[in-house]
Amino acid sequence: MQRIHSSLNSDLSFSRIAFGLWRLTDWGYCPQERLALFEQMLDLGVTTFDLADIYGSYRCEQFFGEALKLKPALRERMEIVSKCSIRLAGEASGASINHYDTSPAHVRRAVETSLHDMGIEQMDLLLLHRPDPLMDAEALAEVLEQLVAEGKVKHLGVSNYLPHQTDLLQSRLSRPLVANQIEVSLLHSQPMFDGQLDYCQQHKIIPMAWSPFAGGRLFSGEDVDAARVQQSLRLLSEARGLSADSGVMQLALAWLLKHPAQMVPVLGSGNPERLVAALKALDLELDREEWFELLRAGRGRDVD
């Protein structure tokens, strides 16, 4: 498996494709089945596991921890990514309305709860899940630095942050923000044009791409944009002689992987066969015209 190495921290690297666990509670797997899936991914070289405190109505990290507890040694083969700063209304969070919270008290409590639920002592990467308009950058940076100093968090990053929001937080930190997890797909290529991926390249930040299949629209979307991209992917898949079942998925990933920002797509399927098929995208290399052909389909217009 290819790996992406951070230029900002020599001891940080990610598998070229990450395993997203936001639907872990929906897959209906018992702890032993979850463990078997994790082991299969690790054996394939997928070592980066992506979670967040809110996933599965605050239960995904518990499900992850239950499986990991069956074989704690697997922890040493993983990069565990988690996120906080969103509070969903309900008993689990104690919030009466959905909101963002980057207050020091909440961030500390969220990190410590995540570590407890997963049964680990340190997460490899903490991401601030969404920009908070009430973020006190000075206070937030202080608690983040403390969590790193205490050994509870190894590296820091953000998620869904625009360049100016990243700059603000980075200006208060003594250590680099190493990753930004953003939405990128053939049906959401704006980060390639609005400065987000340019900023990542400029500052050597690793972009992690969530929803790389546009929430399934690349396969089953019935809107005009989705249908146009589906047709383009099918035609290219046929021209390449790829499998009718998995070629579209592989090409959609290969399109992301070609970008020089070196994105790490986050795949969230619980189907092992589907995951194995997706990894074959690593062996595909689109030429420039193929890449722009898919871009044209995604944007619905030719280049200017």
Measured distance CA(144)–CA(157) in Å, rounded: 10
* Active-site residue, selected from the candidate residues 29, 55, 58, 161: 55
Q: Note whether 263 and 209 are within 8 A (CB).
A: yes
- Find where tokens 């202080």 sit: 142
Q: Note whether 205 and 179 are within 8 A (CB).
A: yes
Sorted by sequence, the CB contacts under 8 Å of residue 108 that are 6+ apart come out as 143, 146, 147
DSSP 8-state code for residue 191:
G
DSSP E strand stretches across the chain:
3-5, 13-15, 18-20, 48-50, 79-84, 86-87, 99-100, 123-128, 153-159, 177-183, 206-210, 264-267
Measured distance CA(79)–CA(122) in Å, rounded: 10
Q: Note whether 232 and 297 are within 8 A (CB).
A: yes
Measured distance CA(73)–CA(71) in Å, rounded: 6
HSE-CB for 213 with a 13 A CA cutoff = 21
Question: Which residue type occupies 237?
Answer: S
Measured distance CA(231)–CA(248) in Å, rounded: 10
> Residue 55 catalytic?
yes
Burial of 214 (0-12, 13-18, 19+ CB in 10 A): buried
Catalytic residue numbers, as ranges: 55
